[in-house]
Amino acid sequence: MMEYRQLGRSALQVSELCLGTMNFGPRTPASESFEILNEAVGAGINFIDTANQYGGELGVGATEKILGRWFAEDKSRRDQVVLATKVHEPMSGRVNDRGLSARHIQMACDASLKRLGVDHIDLYQMHHIDRSAPIEEIWQAMERLVTQGKITYVGSSNFPGWAIARANEKANARHQLGLVSEQSLFNLIERRVELEVMPACREYGLGLIPWSPLAGGLLANSDEKQEAKGVGRRNSVDMIKAMTQRSEQLRQYRVLCQKLGESPSAIALSWLLHQPCVSATIVGPANVDQLKSVLHVPQIRLDVSTLKQLDEIFPPCGEAPEAYAW
């Protein structure tokens, strides 16, 4: 049974598992992407995340187009889901077809709406910080989109803590809601968001949405025989190097997961749902079986002892400034 949480301080309810769609198109064909979407919605997942740049070798926008075709099959689907997409990344070689200028935000939103075949986006996220764009310009553009009914909420992604604080202080001064979510790289291995991003999210009421919850596959279900041969999804040079460097950590982790009777993927996802500020965690299945294998994660409860053991295997960063103050 799926569980739901508020997205940050907003009243919006989202499923604890958010379906990430980056694989749709470049790795997973449209037909199988539709199967994953149908399985997800049938299981109670109501939160779908994409980005205007996703598409890989098929070209930017390809993933949003796949979602648009899925929505077109059944118009009722749009109202069943909280739809999130992103803006910032280059969409062409043109100098202004990127970033967070007011012009690009408006044009990119209109383009996403067209590809998705919808009249509004529930959560419009800034994919990265744009140091050249004044925050006043960004909020002017976002407020216009809200007024036009094209977006409902604004979120950030890959923002440092100071940028979250600045954005919401400026929004408060404009009597606007501001950011309601931050999508960050966060998993048992990569925990630097604990330093300043999570404290900022807590202070300003943002829901944290971790991406790469399995650390690019390091924390995923694995076949040790395949790993030894460098075969399978984790056979890149960088991944083999990371597995070698963290072999003892990963061995201890596998042993703990075996004792808990759960897969490494399930425990990694469940751990994130036990962390402060997390509203939902991204899951990015490449096929239906991968999705089905983690649908039970919201039901997993990790006790204090287990959480402590996980911290011992993968040490936390602590919060700033306490983490490095004297």
CATH number of the domain at 4-218+264-302, please? Answer: 3.20.20.100
Instruction: Give, in order, the Cα–Cα distances in Å from 140 to each of 145, 176, 269.
Output: 9, 11, 36
Instruction: Please state the pTM of the whole predicted model.
Output: 0.94
Query: Which among 54, 124, 204, 253 is annotated as catalytic?
Result: 54
Give me the tens of pLDDT residue by residue for the chain, a chain 326 residues long: 899 999 999 999 999 999 999 999 999 999 999 999 999 999 999 999 999 999 999 999 999 999 999 999 999 999 999 999 999 999 999 999 999 999 999 999 999 999 999 999 999 999 999 999 999 999 999 999 999 999 999 999 999 999 999 999 999 999 999 999 999 999 999 999 999 999 999 999 999 999 999 999 999 976 444 444 444 556 689 899 999 999 999 999 999 999 999 999 999 999 999 999 999 999 999 999 999 999 999 999 999 999 999 999 999 999 998 888 77
**Cα–Cα distance measured from residue 29 to residue 89, given in angstroms and rounded to the nearest whole number:** 23
- What pLDDT shows up at residue 233? 55
The whole-angstrom separation of Cα 89 and Cα 112 is 13
Q: Phi and psi of 303, rounded to 5°?
A: -80, 175
**Which pLDDT belongs to residue 225?**
41
Query: At 178, which amino acid appears?
Result: G
Q: Give pLDDT, residue 226.
A: 42
So what's the pLDDT on residue 218? 96
The yes-or-no answer on residue 54 being catalytic is yes
Nearest to 227 by CA among 238, 239, 215, 216: 239
Identify the pLDDT of residue 231.
Answer: 45
